[in-house]
Amino acid sequence: MLIARTVPELREFLGRYRRPAFVPTMGNLHEGHLALVQQARPLGDVTVASIFVNRLQFLPHEDFDTYPRTWDSDCEKLRSVGCDLLFAPDEHALYPEPQTCKVHPDPALANILEGHFRPAFFVGVCTVVMKLFACVQPRFALFGKKDYQQLMVIRHMVRQFALPIEIIGSETRRAEDGLALSSRNGYLSEAERAEAVQLSKALRAMADALRSGERDFAAIEARAMRSLDARGWKPDYMLLRRRADLQPPAPGQPLVALGAARLGMTRLIDNLEIDA
């Protein structure tokens, strides 16, 4: 696996390829990331991953400084799944001057849910993803459905800017008990890790309620919030939304249940597409 630390190095390595398949990450890689790389491999003529912890998408009180950085094991894992090229710029290589030109995604999609609780998050994500796309010039880019809204915001950005990139959404990889794999799971104590599965269970209870014919969306959402609250979580939201645009649903539309909640110091997100 080649490792490019700067944009010129990346361009040199990519010179002869025309159809890169690209997996952007913030590192601390787990099976969810590796599944994206494996899915990318047959798509393009070269498989590229990036590791970059993007300061722009963190609020000042968030975990930018403590975000796990596990370089050696990340490289080993990427090699083990046949990644061809790793782009791992430092901040100066990607942002040599203050990044004052930013991408502001569709407010209807980006200012709700995660964007409501993490203002400027999606501006930071879209800005870095646009820049990474400009560097790698991928033909395919893969994102996990674990970050469901992020995937939708990026799809929308790519469509609106007519970028010649196919965005591929990949299913959420889970631990055996159902907890969505996430780098931030590493922040959990042993007791919190055992409790963490309750977020996916609460989403499943929302899906079960719909499947059993209940249509009072507000009541289903309130029950999910209470169920986590009662166990000592601090839920930000547990909501049923239209899969098409993440707006509040009417009966009969394909839905997704989305949740974000804090367990101790750790904020987890998850979601579940529902065919009711």
Ligand X SMILES: Nc1ncnc2c1ncn2[C@@H]1O[C@H](COP(=O)(O)OP(=O)(O)OP(=O)(O)O)[C@@H](O)[C@H]1O
Phi-psi domain of 137 (left: phi exceeds 0; alpha: psi -120 through 50; beta: other): left
Rule CB under 6 A: say whether 74 interacts with ligand BAL: no
- Respond yes or no: is residue 92 known to be catalytic: no
Under the binding rule (CB under 6 A), the answer on residue 136 touching ligand PAF is: no
Write down the H helix ranges in 137-262: 148-160, 190-196, 198-211, 217-229
Report whether 88 contacts 3 (CB < 8 A).
Answer: yes
- Interface with ligand PAF includes 198 (CB under 6 A)? no
125 contacts ligand PAF (rule: CB under 6 A): yes
Name the residue with the smallest CB distance to ligand BAL: 147
Question: Any contact of residue 57 with ligand BAL (CB under 6 A)?
Answer: yes
Please give the structure tokens belonging to residue 208. Answer: 């079960």
33 binds ligand X (CB under 6 A): yes
Instruction: Show contacts with ligand X in window 182-221 (CB under 6 A).
Output: 182-184
Q: 240: part of which helix (H) or strand (E)?
A: strand 234-242
Cα(168)–Cα(181) distance, integer angstroms: 19
Listed as own residue / partner, the contacts of 243-249 with beta carbons closer than 8 Å and 24 or more positions apart are 243/273, 245/108, 245/109, 245/152, 246/109, 246/112, 246/113, 246/149, 246/152, 247/108, 248/217, 249/217
Q: Is 200 in the site for ligand BAL (CB under 6 A)?
A: no
Considering the complex, state which of residue 2 and residue 123 has its C-beta at the smaller distance from ligand BAL.
123
120 binds ligand PAF (CB under 6 A): no
- Residue 256 burial (10 A CB sphere; 0-12, 13-18, 19+): buried
Which of 33, 61, 104, 156 is catalytic? The answer is 33
The interface partner of residue 32, options being ligand X, ligand PAF, ligand BAL, none and the CB cut-off 5 to 8 Å by kind, is ligand X
Query: Quick one: which of 47, 54, 172, 200 contacts ligand PAF (CB under 6 A)?
Result: 54
Please give the structure tokens belonging to residue 240: 């049923």
Assess 147 for contact with ligand BAL (CB under 6 A).
yes
Q: 16 or 61, CB closer to ligand BAL?
A: 61
> Is residue 31 part of an annotated ligand binding site?
yes
**Contact positions toward ligand BAL, by CB under 6 A?**
57, 147, 150
Q: Which residues bind ligand PAF (CB under 6 A)?
A: 24-26, 54, 57, 125, 128-129, 147, 150
